[in-house]
Amino acid sequence: MPAYRPEEIEKKWQAHWKAHSTFQARNHSEKPKYYVLDMFPYPSGAGLHVGHPLGYIASDIVTRFKRLQGFNVLHPMGFDSFGLPAEQYAIQTGQHPALTTDQNIETYIKQLSSLGFSYDWSREIRTSDASYYKWTQWIFLKLFNSWYNLDTNKAEPLTALTARFAERGSEGIRAAGDEADRLSFSAGQWQLFNEHQKLAAVHSYRLAYQQDTYVNWCPGLGTVLSNDEVKDGLSERGGYPVERRLMPQWNLRITAYADRLLQGLDTLDWPDAVKEMQRNWIGRSIGAEVTFPVQGSETAQIKVYTTRVDTIYGATFLVLAPEHELVDQLTTPDQRAAVDEYIAATKRRSERDRMADTKTVSGVFTGAYGLNPVNNEPVQIWLADYVLAGYGTGAVMAVPSGDQRDYLFATHFGLPIPAISDAQQNLDQQADPTKEGRYINSGIINGLTYKEATQKLIAYLEEKGLGRGKVNFRLRDSIFGRQRYWGEPIPIYYKDGTAYGIAESDLPLVLPEINEYKPTETGEPPLGRAQNWLYRDQYPYELSTMPGWAGSSWYYLRYMDPTNEARFVSEEAEQYWGNVDLYMGGAEHATGHLLYARFWYLFLKDLGLVSSNEPFQKLINQGMILGRSNFLYFLNVIWSTSLGDEDATKVPTPLIYISKPLLDRFLAGKQTNEDEELVKSGIKTATASWSKKHNRDYYPGAISYEHSFAAHVDVNIVNDDILDVEAARKWRPDFEDAVFITEPNGKYVCGTEVEKMSKSKHNVVNPDVLISKYGADALRLYEMFLGPLEQYKPWNTNGISGVGSFLKKFWRLFHPEDGDLAVTDDTPTPAELKALHKAIQKAKEDVEKFSFNTSVSLFMITVNELTALKCHKRAILEPLVLLVSPFAPHLAEELWQELGHKAGSVSSARYPEFREEYLVEDTVTYPLAINGKVRDQMQFAAAATAAEIETAVLASDFLARFGEGKSAKKVIVVPGRMVNVVV
């Protein structure tokens, strides 16, 4: 097989790696460990397109490079296999989601394997396997049976809390969560509580707890959706309306870890943008909680949290979230209809839409008034959807002179905007949030500075029992339940209406079989259809399942020890692997998966179950590969037929598509006579064809080039922007009789645009097609060659052929003219050694800084240099194989074996040693100048002294040729740079 045939080589080595478990990692090794992880995929039915493998290729290069450096590398792969798409397909077809999921996974495994990834497939996990989600349920039970002790700043078992209750009651216990939700009792009262009362008292301390929560409810899908799954008030999947609804939901108390999640970011080697997104999402702020009494009520009061308590005298109205618990009580009869209408409209908007919409001003007056606690002035109480029930207290004190959103609201509804600082300016135009100057119109803080005013007001409010200083977070507790079937069952059962965790020995709680996958007719989640699904045959189970992020919050730990039946991961394996050294995945997971995984890890750390401080030490966000779309251009011809009285909408009209450059010439008024004849001919062909097919005469009227619209066409039937017309006719039935007006050379040229890859845009390129044509190694190199890993890059299939040519050129260093192996043991020349060691040094630097595109360029330059030198020497080519092996592993394995090494051993070789002496130049070329103007150049030994160089220059004919008969006054030698003769 002298010629390079990737289709044979790649299948051969993929089979070898699989048969010999080449990449299987060991949990015990004298080598240093390195853990490389990809964010595992959800296996959709569409399979992979060429944009998906970008991060996988990059992580595989690092994996193979680290093996060459002597590391014991863990590089696993698995599948996030629970999820809504499979469930929706099950609802539509009646097919169990497990069948769809397994079929999709097999497609993914086949595609991933065809790309030559060095995964340890013996560690594959699937979140939908009961053997895996047993431990997801186990972690949930640990959360259910734990509380967060603010004194020790860590999670502890509930048994420690109940022991304190028995000893001294609830007094003095500082726990994460809302104190208002908790009972106050003595030790004696605790002892008198029955089982139900004790569990009720404990529930509000749990890290996994149930309470009424506002959620995104989608009636069309019959489930709660995350904010990420809602866009413009509609479900991302299916486009069903979504509304905000108060429902009993399971929550995880991630807020207990808010400070630690913030602090930990400083220790991580993550992109600054991702860390900043998490910081903003957690949103730590220092301020005050203030109580506004409600006018006319002895009990009702509104609590607000503010970071600018210094502005309280400027609070001229209160704004509540439409979902606020006091709305019904506060609304006066004359405002009832308006309030109800506004609340109904708000329910149709997601939290994300409400937060993002900063331009629309909307609200409704409740008819009620609050009292400003510092001056007892009445303030109107309004509802507005920019206030969220789940953030802070669900109410804000509006200070229109200092906050632009409050300013716009006050301006819109004609509410007062008093100045509160002598430094505020232009309040007739906009708010001024300055902290400069001194306060005016502000009672007890008149004349004070910002810092003085803040301290005095907090002290005053605390003294009067009307407020307190407080640290607040934007982060909310995580809604954990989903009203779906295809997810992990929550291991909870109910006894007399009280939630109990099932015994750990009864795990896993396996997903039961049901006859339909949609909610029941009475509105229960799909699990309500399960027959006789009871804990120990008597207690009903929780009918919600866990969200998709549950299984992905700890999967990296299971990879360390995937078959352990006694523990979620053994202590030995966890301590050996520690945490993930390199995590590759998308930045879109910054405030979802990445935050939840850190939360779960910190919780497991509190329980002494993991040994590091964070799960993922280094994170890289690969950029997106954008699709290159192609377009056809429909020629807009006004037609009439012999059946003129027929409804025009029922008359089919000829389809005529015009080549893009031809259309552009007509639009610019630069068409030629030949162009006009092409269009006339195309219309004539369409007229004759369609008249015959539809048994009526078509009469072409006016032609409107300006209104010729573009339509996406499948990029897989376009080559270098030239449409395969016959393939197009087969692609869509309505194209069968279409007329394609081509360029004078007979080619139809499509339009192009760079867009996100999407099936709807017909710009998805299947990697299987490219692998069959060019090989996996070419695809791997090309994806890396497109540009810096973290950046967005446009895809162009036309470019991959150049990489394929490079690999053939590399092959011919070993097989000149595609003949037999012709590697010699001759001694390499200095030029050959220099080319090799430049490559050794730079390839190492490039991979270590994840600059893979420059590595590919380097390989191309090096191969060109060695080809020009006609180098076929083992001492040069053997190390070069190792350099290229992380990028083109199949070709490297083949050549490595041909060079006499054990089959499949390129991964266990050692990275070539860089020797700097081979880069030292023997000679240096010096520019020679007269009075600073370069005239010539001379070559000297690299070790030549300045005196030796001066003597040689003066002894040459340089001065005679360029000195215009003048003698040298001075010779300046800049070592290694240049020589200047002053005359």
Question: What is the reported pLDDT for 646?
Answer: 53
Pair 573, 557: CB distance under 8 Å = no
Count of other CB atoms within 10 angstroms of residue 614: 19
- The predicted model gives 684-702 an average pLDDT of 85
Average pLDDT over the chain, rounded to an integer? 93
Tokens matching residue 659? 């080549």
Closest CA to 678 of 635, 639, 727, 731: 635
159, containing H or E segment = helix 158-168
Q: How far apart are CA 289 and CA 392, in angstroms?
A: 9
Pair 463, 60: CB distance under 8 Å = no
Question: Which band of pLDDT confidence, cut at 50, 70 and 90, is reported for residue 640?
Answer: confident
- The predicted model gives 792-806 an average pLDDT of 92
Any residues with CB less than 8 A from the CB of 650 and at least 6 apart, and which? none
Question: What is the reported pLDDT for 77?
Answer: 98
Asked: is 775-788+796-908 a CATH 1.20.20.10 domain? The reply is: no
Count of other CB atoms within 10 angstroms of residue 854: 17
- The predicted model gives 436-457 an average pLDDT of 96
Pair 796, 718: CB distance under 8 Å = no
> Over the stretch 363-386, which tens digit does the pLDDT of each residue have?
999 999 999 999 999 999 999 998
Q: How far apart are CA 693 and CA 21, in angstroms?
A: 62
Pair 309, 458: CB distance under 8 Å = yes
Q: DSSP characters for 449-513?
A: -HHHHHHHHHHHHHHHTSEEEEEEES--PEE--BS-SSSPBP-EEEETTEEEEPPGGG---PPPP
What angle do the packed helices 593-606 and 272-282 form, to 10 degrees? 70
Pair 867, 809: CB distance under 8 Å = yes
Can you say whether the dihedral through the CA atoms of 642, 648, 650, 652 is positive or negative? positive
Can you say whether the dihedral through the CA atoms of 413, 418, 420, 425 is positive or negative? positive
Higher pLDDT pick, 500 / 939: 500
Q: How far apart are CA 498 and CA 423, in angstroms?
A: 57
Q: Which residues, in sequence order, are bridge partners of residue 126?
A: 79
Q: Spell out a b/e string for 358-395, using b for 16 or more CB atoms within 10 Å of the CB, else e.
A: eeeebbbbbbbbbbbbbeeeebbbbbbbbbbbebbbbb
Pair 65, 59: CB distance under 8 Å = no
973, containing H or E segment = strand 970-974
- The predicted model gives 940-947 an average pLDDT of 87
Tokens matching residue 500? 């109990």
3-state secondary structure of 730: helix
Question: What is the reported pLDDT for 712?
Answer: 95
Pair 288, 468: CB distance under 8 Å = yes
Pairing of strands 722-723, 656-658: unpaired
On the question of pLDDT at 648 being above 60, the answer is no
The residue to which tokens 């900063």 are assigned: 358
Higher pLDDT pick, 698 / 151: 151
Question: What is the reported pLDDT for 191?
Answer: 95
Q: What is the share, in percent, of the chain residues with pLDDT greater than 70?
A: 99
Peptide linkage before 373 cis (omega within 30 of 0): no
Q: How far apart are CA 578 and CA 613, in angstroms?
A: 9
The amino acid occupying position 7 is E
Pair 70, 6: CB distance under 8 Å = no
Q: What is the share, in percent, of the chain residues with pLDDT greater than 90?
A: 77
Stretch among 197-211, 448-462, 921-935 having the lowest mean pLDDT:
921-935
The amino acid occupying position 458 is I
Q: How far apart are CA 555 and CA 727, in angstroms?
A: 45
Distance of CA 604 to the CA centre of its chain: 25
Question: What is the reported pLDDT for 522?
Answer: 78
Q: How far apart are CA 344 and CA 350, in angstroms?
A: 13
Radius of gyration of the chain (CA): 36
Q: Which residues, in sequence order, are bridge partners of residue 501?
A: 492
Question: Which band of pLDDT confidence, cut at 50, 70 and 90, is reported for residue 510?
Answer: very high
CA distances from 94 to 86, 88, 102, 519, 527 (A): 11, 10, 16, 14, 15
Tokens matching residue 585? 């995945």
> Over the stretch 163-188, which tens digit does the pLDDT of each residue have?
999 999 999 999 999 887 899 999 99
- The predicted model gives 771-789 an average pLDDT of 96
Phi, psi torsion values for 87, nearest 5 degrees: -70, -40
The residue to which tokens 């509160």 are assigned: 420
Count of other CB atoms within 10 angstroms of residue 176: 19
- The predicted model gives 463-484 an average pLDDT of 91
On the question of pLDDT at 274 being above 90, the answer is yes
> Over the stretch 865-874, which tens digit does the pLDDT of each residue have?
999 999 999 9
- The predicted model gives 122-141 an average pLDDT of 98
Question: What is the reported pLDDT for 649?
Answer: 53
Q: How far apart are CA 79 and CA 105, in angstroms?
A: 7
- The predicted model gives 612-639 an average pLDDT of 93
- The predicted model gives 771-794 an average pLDDT of 95
The amino acid occupying position 173 is I
On the question of pLDDT at 842 being above 90, the answer is yes
Instruction: Write the burial class of residue 1 (CB in 10 Å: 0-12 exposed, 13-18 middle, 19+ buried).
Output: exposed
Tokens matching residue 51? 């944009």
Closest CA to 27 of 796, 458, 559: 559
Q: How far apart are CA 57 and CA 782, in angstroms?
A: 10
Q: How far apart are CA 140 and CA 133, in angstroms?
A: 10
Any residues with CB less than 8 A from the CB of 981 and at least 6 apart, and which? 928, 929, 930, 931, 953, 958, 959, 963, 968, 970, 971, 972
759 is in an annotated binding site: yes
DSSP state of 439: B
Instruction: Please give the span between the terminal C-alpha atoms of the chain, in angstroms, as a whole number.
Output: 67
Please tell me the class of the 923-982 domain. alpha beta
Pair 574, 615: CB distance under 8 Å = no
Asked: is 32-128+253-282+547-623 a CATH 3.40.50.620 domain? The reply is: yes
Question: Which band of pLDDT confidence, cut at 50, 70 and 90, is reported for residue 1?
Answer: low
On the question of pLDDT at 431 being above 60, the answer is yes
Pair 579, 35: CB distance under 8 Å = yes
Pair 86, 100: CB distance under 8 Å = yes
Q: How far apart are CA 297 and CA 330, in angstroms?
A: 10
DSSP state of 373: T
DSSP state of 297: -
Please tell me the class of the 284-473 domain. alpha beta
Q: How far apart are CA 38 and CA 273, in angstroms?
A: 19
Q: Where are the domains of the chain?
A: 32-128+253-282+547-623, 284-473, 626-757, 775-788+796-908, 923-982
Closest CA to 61 of 768, 620, 780, 556: 780
Count of other CB atoms within 10 angstroms of residue 605: 18
> Over the stretch 887-908, which tens digit does the pLDDT of each residue have?
999 999 999 999 999 999 999 9
286, containing H or E segment = strand 284-293
Q: Which residues, in sequence order, are bridge partners of residue 478?
A: 252
Pair 790, 623: CB distance under 8 Å = yes
Q: Spell out a b/e string for 495-518, using b for 16 or more CB atoms within 10 Å of the CB, else e.
A: eeeebbbbeeeebbbebeebeebb
Q: How far apart are CA 90 and CA 100, in angstroms?
A: 8
Report the half-sphere exposure of 203 (CA within 13 A, side-chain side).
18
